[in-house]
Chains A and B, each alone.
Chain A
């Protein structure tokens, strides 16, 4: 069953760039109607890198009905908006019943589905026999599909500010302590012999304190590492699975060119 035509055309409206597009697709399966932020980010990146389109599938396994449709419609819209902003064609659908059957149905309906991406919350048992490579994306803990608890992020930001300030104060105090007694400290550190332990211990201590301050400062400024390993590992898994699938025995047909054909 497809989402109402109006909703569908609204979703498709953002993807006019690729109206005539009939390329390969990634089928993204929601977990209980929700596409988590991690899943959205991952799929959009993957589709962008591989040049594929996205197809979003929500499966109402519990027969919830209208509440499920509303919830999944909003979540699928987020996915398609993210895709559309990156020039990736996106469509969405809802199905009812068993996840595995729903996914297989969708694969046959949509055509050219190359990869199925699911949330890790969906058990591997329920999608074991899918005919297309399945990739499971590990969702972040408490990832609420784009509405990651604002209250929690505010409190974690406050903790981060506290840590940055704390380590900053300690670091500044250490520097002040050394440089207000610069001559004495320099003399002790350059005595040589067993006193060599003092400059070594001093720089290690400063590295710990100032290093922690630097780490928290960059995090506070929003400069953090991108988790690219997930995408890289996922691509590797997809490539490996496709290689395995290609090794299936093929049927060969032999045509006798000398067979008489009555015209």
Chain B
């Protein structure tokens, strides 16, 4: 989040192209969110900024669309029996603390190294977290896929579950019994990452899977509960400061409410490990995208020196590859759904095919 003191807020004029762009990005972001529990936000903020929206308004408007979208997605997946409400709320509590710490760190870096330093910190966080976690998730998903699709509880999670450190907490839907202490770092890291790169789920969902032993399906669904709680808190904060452009929020919401429901439906068509594949693919492509943005910040800090043309080109590649990440994720989701629907065993469909 940015320092908003004394900033003059300017709301952009909208035209048809902007409206269509925001609607489509909202739809794709919602689709990915509904499927993997997070995502979309990291494209929307730079997407809005590329239209001329001030950074702080983009962040505020993004957050204001995120929490109702998460609410709708969580409700839909709750009806499918995928959401562990207790797990989501417990993690949301520690995520709230993580968000505050994340903001403080951002403010310290901003004060010491300025906007370029802050942006560099954000980009390095993106690359480090997304490459490490994304690679691990991808490798795990490939292993499961080759083994025939049966998801197993991770060794670390099994060990942590076996440690009897009161207070112990049972999460019924997730089918997990674990010490409350082990849920704190997962929630805290989720909040911190949300405050840093706007997508806490990239650590929240893998954290729930590999540390707590929750299945990919329940983890991605419960993440929506965390996103709702954090998003609502943040949105109220931004709205109190008058930073929300309601027009942008409603346009994005128009697309994302369609997408998030489709993504939620999609989770019932595919095997559980597909959620990991989509998440890991998006994470790795976004990591590459942010890596292209790093030279710009190093140039601004005077660490390296590169031409303006090169900076502009790298910036364009960064933005395009970020959009590509979302698009790739959406295509994987839609193709998987289409394949699953085609091979479903309804007798009526079979009769028609013959």
Interface of A is mostly: helix
Name B257's contact: one of A37, A41, A191, A210 (CB within 8 Å). A210
Closest B residue to A37 using CB positions: B347
Interface residues of A in 199-240 (CB under 8 A from B): 199-200, 202-204, 206-207, 210-211, 214-215, 217-218, 223-229
Report the minimal beta-carbon distance from A67 to chain B, rounded to whole angstroms.
23
Residues on the B chain within 8 Å of A186, using CB: 11, 245-247
Question: B354 near A85 (CB under 8 angstroms)?
Answer: yes
- Verify if A81 is at the interface (C-beta below 8 Å from B): yes
Question: A41 near B239 (CB under 8 angstroms)?
Answer: no
- Verify if B229 is at the interface (C-beta below 8 Å from A): no
Residues on the A chain within 8 Å of B257, using CB: 207, 210-211, 214
Interface residues of A in 52-104 (CB under 8 A from B): 78, 81-82, 85-86
- Verify if B80 is at the interface (C-beta below 8 Å from A): yes
Residues on the A chain within 8 Å of B350, using CB: 81-82, 85-86
Contact with B along A170-211 (1 / 0, CB 8 A): 000001001100100110011111011101101110110011
Report the minimal beta-carbon distance from A46 to chain B, rounded to whole angstroms.
10
Given contacts A44-B345, A199-B64, is CB(A178)–CB(B72) below 8 Å?
no
- Verify if A133 is at the interface (C-beta below 8 Å from B): no
Question: B239 near A192 (CB under 8 angstroms)?
Answer: yes
- Verify if A139 is at the interface (C-beta below 8 Å from B): no
Question: A207 near B71 (CB under 8 angstroms)?
Answer: yes
Question: A203 near B65 (CB under 8 angstroms)?
Answer: yes
**Number of residues from A at the complex interface, CB < 8 A:** 46
Contact with A along B218-242 (1 / 0, CB 8 A): 0000000000000010011001111
Name A210's contact: one of B11, B239, B253, B351 (CB within 8 Å). B253
Cα distance A3–B17 when bound, in Å?
A: 67
Cα distance A78–B351 when bound, in Å?
A: 10
Closest B residue to A205 using CB positions: B68
- Verify if A136 is at the interface (C-beta below 8 Å from B): no
Name B262's contact: one of A37, A210, A218 (CB within 8 Å). A218
Report the minimal beta-carbon distance from A132 to chain B, rounded to whole angstroms.
23
Closest B residue to A171 using CB positions: B254
Cα distance A190–B242 when bound, in Å?
A: 4
Report the minimal beta-carbon distance from A52 to chain B, rounded to whole angstroms.
14
Report the minimal beta-carbon distance from B345 to chain A, rounded to whole angstroms.
5
Question: B246 near A224 (CB under 8 angstroms)?
Answer: no
- Verify if A31 is at the interface (C-beta below 8 Å from B): no
- In this complex, the member of B65, B67, B71, B347 whose beta carbon has the largest number of chain A beta carbons within 10 angstroms is B347
Name A190's contact: one of B9, B67, B250, B261 (CB within 8 Å). B9
Cα distance A252–B101 when bound, in Å?
A: 66
Name A178's contact: one of B242, B250, B258, B351 (CB within 8 Å). B250
- In this complex, the member of A146, A179, A202, A203 whose beta carbon has the largest number of chain B beta carbons within 10 angstroms is A203
Cα distance A199–B257 when bound, in Å?
A: 17
- In this complex, the member of A37, A81, A85 whose beta carbon has the largest number of chain B beta carbons within 10 angstroms is A85
- Verify if B90 is at the interface (C-beta below 8 Å from A): no
Contact with A along B305-325 (1 / 0, CB 8 A): 000000000000000000000
Question: A204 near B347 (CB under 8 angstroms)?
Answer: no
Question: A192 near B240 (CB under 8 angstroms)?
Answer: yes
- Verify if A18 is at the interface (C-beta below 8 Å from B): no
Question: A223 near B253 (CB under 8 angstroms)?
Answer: no
Question: A192 near B241 (CB under 8 angstroms)?
Answer: yes
Question: B265 near A218 (CB under 8 angstroms)?
Answer: yes
Interface residues of B in 186-243 (CB under 8 A from A): 232, 235-236, 239-243
Question: B261 near A199 (CB under 8 angstroms)?
Answer: no
Residues on the B chain within 8 Å of A179, using CB: 247
Cα distance A85–B69 when bound, in Å?
A: 40
Report the minimal beta-carbon distance from B119 to chain A, rounded to whole angstroms.
25
Given contacts A78-B347, A228-B268, is CB(A214)–CB(B246) below 8 Å?
no
Question: B244 near A190 (CB under 8 angstroms)?
Answer: yes
Question: A199 near B258 (CB under 8 angstroms)?
Answer: no
Contact with B along A118-148 (1 / 0, CB 8 A): 0000000000000000000000000000100
Cα distance A78–B261 when bound, in Å?
A: 33
Question: A190 near B80 (CB under 8 angstroms)?
Answer: no
Q: Show 17 residue pairs from A and B whose CB-CB distance is below 8 angstroms, ordered by the A residue.
A: A40-B347, A85-B354, A178-B247, A182-B14, A185-B247, A186-B247, A190-B9, A196-B239, A203-B246, A204-B68, A206-B250, A207-B68, A207-B257, A215-B261, A218-B262, A226-B269, A226-B344
A-B complex: 4 closest residue pairs judged by Cβ atoms: A192-B242, A196-B239, A207-B68, A225-B268
* B residues with CB within 8 A of A: 9, 11, 14, 64-65, 67-69, 71-72, 76, 80-81, 232, 235-236, 239-247, 249-250, 253-254, 257-258, 261-262, 264-265, 268-269, 340, 344-348, 350-351, 353-354
Kindly list 16 other residue pairs between chains A and B, CB separation below 8 angstroms, not including A179-B247, A196-B239: A78-B347, A81-B347, A81-B351, A146-B348, A175-B250, A185-B247, A189-B246, A195-B242, A196-B240, A199-B246, A199-B249, A200-B232, A204-B71, A210-B257, A215-B76, A225-B80
